[in-house]
Chains A and B, each alone.
Chain A
């Protein structure tokens, strides 16, 4: 099976070129400037961007346990509809992914669906109890790539220390859900002017920063690699910048909602803007954008967190935290490009190249000869309503659902096969 993607613009982290991509089976076998080849299929990517398949280091697929929110199939479909070909699901499933058999089951199910590569993140602690660490070696053997109790912090510093040290002996890393739960217990949004107006219990950004600081120090102590999940505050980034400058082994990610929205969105008590960490101030949002621009932020990850409509259709205080992210990753990130915050090359670095590097995925993250044919073809100018027809998640908890968006993946190719095609696209 040979596939040619012609007339498009290839965007890599370090270069942009107009060229054709020749794919054979699951590999990119050549980048060529002519069409003089025999192929089984051609995709005309005129006016489109050809980028390496996006890698989302932070998703929640709710499978096993909460399949009514999303399962591996609907999650995979949402991923490829968003141009994402590799996903790292967090461990807060039910049962938790804190042992090899769950990891194996998740991978097997995902392989069977065959749309994306699933690289599970194992729990740090058994039962998410924060007491003793999981069998990391065994889980890595089964296919887990990193460890996180995401959703909950590891409160006990000595457990976090062990996790960092132990993971490093397997060349793996720990992802920190940074939250000092005692500070502003039961907060439901950012503590700031808006929470003061609304009379909702706020979570000060220090709630996150205190834990970021601790984890920087534990990384210093252990030499282990810590990855800070969903950074949302200016001071978290300041602390990370300091740690990086001091040579501490730290990386971090920012979610699209944190570089796109502020807590002003909560003025109508819309539970689809309720997430943790919460949307913060203008100043914090601008710090996220600056961090993406200046290279302090390593990765954009969605924190795709589906919740059923009934769960979100309640009083604000009662609603669960989290929003969908996979299908709005491309439009929200392209908006950053349009706003001149980052270049297209930087976008590719943040959404594919750098995640591949962090995860040591040698054959991903670039459109190049010999690489795996995981490709997203993006139309940066396509305007459309993100509606139920497009939404592939079982859940609807995106504040952007039914809104007009610009920019989308019009083709997603996984292992050389077209696994998603934007419905109304006329690319042939």
Chain B
């Protein structure tokens, strides 16, 4: 077993081998998902709770589908972080659900560090489905899986990650993993959304959209949180799309076979124009498809680790 930890919290702490192991084992589940009977019994009799303290229909449905295709009993719990604050703590809530003999928690929470905090205090396994601005490991794994599928390789590829890097757990997980896998990452976005100390990412910080896109093999557009406008990070959506959005013209600077990715849900016309989102180069729906396979792989590996 290449990966033998109880939980999957983030890719920063994983080795190259561990990351590749997740990608490799996802392939069998992708094949399964493409077959007539999309079901295996690997998690039969196991209970998986999707504990979502922050809204995300897409990620939850993806995890739920993954768990059910492995024959686990998948239960959804959702609550906003604030409603839990009426006396009961996060750990109390989780421990309560653990008492119902839960094997794996899929945890989404608005606080960075929440996943490791919970994982360190319970016996059940925890899959981080996004914690604050820290990590979203399964999203990055599905991104990597999709890239590998389209490019045949990962090492040496030029990847541009564009948008709100400061608040993005998807960007962080991708950056940590891509550095380990020998990919060349550049980041770009309005200066208010690029961390001042971005040298820790060990990647190039671009000054213009053109510089960011030029010669790129993979372009990952980050979702912009429209509500962040209140923090005066960007003056208007209009201006954001003008200077930081991806359109047909800008794509011409990238490599001919460059692919366009987005963790979804996209704000059409803001970070990405419809003519790009729906173009041949867009692999956004492949990402969604691969997400289920990646999550099946993750659930299966953690479940096997629980036996050992």
Contacts and interface: CB of A to CB of B under 8 A. Distances in A.
B112 A317 contact: yes
A317 to B, nearest CB: 5
Given A197-B12, A199-B169, A315-B90, A191 B197 contact: yes
Nearest to A191: B196
A269 interface: yes
A41 B204 CA distance: 71
Nearest to A188: B112
Interface string A306-348: 0000100111111000000000000000000000000000000
Interface stretch (B19-27, B72-80, B132-140): B132-140
A49 B210 CA distance: 67
Contacts of B113: 198, 200, 269, 315-317
A192 interface: yes
B55 interface: no
B180 to A, nearest CB: 15
A318 B111 contact: yes
Interface in A158-200: 191-193, 195-200
A-side interface size class:
20 to 34
Contacts of A201: 133
Given A199-B133, A269-B116, A315 B196 contact: no
Nearest to A317: B111
Contacts of A197: 12, 172, 200
Interface string A193-212: 10111111100100000000
Contacts of B117: 269, 315-316
B89 interface: yes
Interface residues of B, number: 26
B264 interface: no
B114 interface: yes
B109 interface: yes
Interface string B223-264: 000000000000000000000000000000000000000000
A427 to B, nearest CB: 41
B109 A315 contact: yes
A317 B132 contact: yes
Contact of A196 (B116, B169, B197): B197
Contacts of B196: 191, 196, 204
Contacts of A196: 195-198, 200-201
A313 B169 contact: no
Contacts, number: 61
B31 interface: no
Interface string B153-196: 00000000000000101001000000000000000000000011
Contacts of B89: 310, 313-314
Interface in A271-317: 310, 313-317
B164 to A, nearest CB: 12
Contact of A199 (B85, B91, B109, B135): B135
Nearest to A192: B197
A190 to B, nearest CB: 10
A268 B115 CA distance: 12
B87 to A, nearest CB: 11
Contacts of A195: 197
A191 B111 CA distance: 17
Contacts of A317: 111-113, 132
B270 to A, nearest CB: 22
Contacts of B133: 199-201
A134 B180 CA distance: 59
Contacts of A198: 112-113, 134
Nearest to A311: B89
B36 interface: no
A200 B114 CA distance: 11
Interface string B253-285: 000000000000000000000000000000000
B135 A193 contact: no
Contact of A316 (B112, B135, B198, B201): B112
Contacts of B169: 199
A275 to B, nearest CB: 16
A204 B196 CA distance: 10
Nearest to B91: A313
Contacts of B199: 193
Contacts of B116: 268-269
A364 to B, nearest CB: 44
Interface in B51-66: none
A200 B116 CA distance: 14
B197 A315 contact: no
Interface string B105-122: 000010111101100000
Contacts of B114: 315
A82 B91 CA distance: 34
Nearest to A186: B231
B256 to A, nearest CB: 34
A198 B198 CA distance: 12
A68 B91 CA distance: 22
B259 to A, nearest CB: 26
A192 B114 CA distance: 20
Interface of A: 191-193, 195-201, 204, 268-269, 310, 313-318
The 4 tightest CB contacts between A and B, nearest first, are A199-B133, A269-B113, A315-B111, A199-B134
Interface of B: 12, 85, 89-91, 109, 111-114, 116-117, 132-135, 167, 169, 172, 195-201
19 contacts: A191-B196, A193-B200, A196-B196, A196-B200, A198-B113, A198-B134, A199-B132, A199-B167, A200-B113, A201-B133, A204-B196, A269-B112, A269-B116, A310-B89, A313-B89, A313-B91, A314-B90, A316-B111, A317-B112
Given A198-B112, A314-B91, A317-B111, 20 more contacts: A191-B197, A193-B199, A193-B200, A196-B196, A196-B197, A196-B200, A197-B172, A199-B112, A199-B132, A199-B135, A199-B169, A200-B134, A204-B196, A313-B89, A314-B90, A315-B90, A315-B111, A316-B113, A317-B132, A318-B111
